[in-house]
Amino acid sequence: MSQHAVFVATEYQNTIQEVLIACDNSTEAFRRLYQQKKQGEHHFSLAFIARECGVSKGYVSDVMSGRRLLSKKHWLKFLSLFDLSPSMEYFFRLLLSRDSLKSLGEIQSISEEIEAQRKALSITKRVIPKKVRGLLFSFELLCAFGLFGNRPSKTQLREYYGAKKGVELDIALHLLKSKEFIDIAEDGHYYLLKEHIGFFDSEDGLTHKDFMKESIRNAISHVDEFHLKRDEAIYETAIISVKKDEYCSQLDAFRSQLHRMQTDMETGHADTLIRFNIQLFPLGHR
């Protein structure tokens, strides 16, 4: 099992994400997102979409009904109307791309990427109270369940983490059980109640940013141990000059590849727990 941290800004975004990942093609996605959006914004009509996107109402109707595919030149304007997060917009673009393909090989390739993205978006999201700040070890512990077929005993966990982590381990297990992430069976083995966890953006809870900061601190603490162990770890850093537009256009594809890599490697029969950190950001521009 691998832990995934997810930033979800609003309750509305959470709802449309659930709607979107249940869709198998762009026509269904447009129709269902339109229905969802119209429930909260009565002015959101076919005529409104047509006016905002500079097309006819008949064109919008044809797209919604599946009589025609949305032209690529209109993708950006149409998608901007539904308040999608970057990851949701990328998923929608994948659906649009697949619907326009003819080659079976290309369809198969993009379908695999769609399913990887669907899995990445299908993550349970919870508010984690700030009072547990400093106990992000609990989330590492949850991931470590995969080392024991997702049914570890406390003895197995104590042996894995060592005596020095004994008290912290007990606190973390209590926290995870109290938050209904795990429970304990009659045979004394723990089991998962939630396959993945993520963080809402909340004023009274931990956020994805908190998790990232802790992850970076953890990576720094291990750099001396793993920097030169090329067969076990990757520690690389570089500064390169790029064209900003080209760089930004590649970010969604790069993010998708990383999510796909994680989901491809993830297994409930693991023997190693890894830390997966990527930092890619601009230093400035002229």
- Dump pLDDT digits (tens) for 157-167: 999 999 888 88
Question: Based on the number of CB atoms within 10 Å of its own CB, is 127 exposed (0-12), middle (13-18) or buried (19 or more)?
Answer: middle
- Judged against a pLDDT cut of 90, whether residue 154 lies above it is answered with yes
What's the chain's average pLDDT? 82
Q: Considering only residues 249 and 14, tell me which one the structure prediction assigns the higher pLDDT.
A: 249
**Token pair belonging to 87:** 């990851």
pLDDT band with cut points at 50, 70 and 90 for residue 10? very low
State yes or no: pLDDT of 189 exceeds 90: yes
Q: What confidence tier does 133 reach under pLDDT thresholds 50, 70, 90?
A: very low
127 vs 216, higher pLDDT = 216
At position 19, the amino acid (one-letter code) is V
Decide: 73 and 1 in contact? Cβ < 8 Å: no
Pairing of strands 7-8, 199-200: parallel
Instruction: Let me know the angle formed at the C-alpha of 243 by 71 and 112, rounded to the nearest 5 degrees.
Output: 50
Helix (H, G, I), strand (E, B) or coil at 19: helix
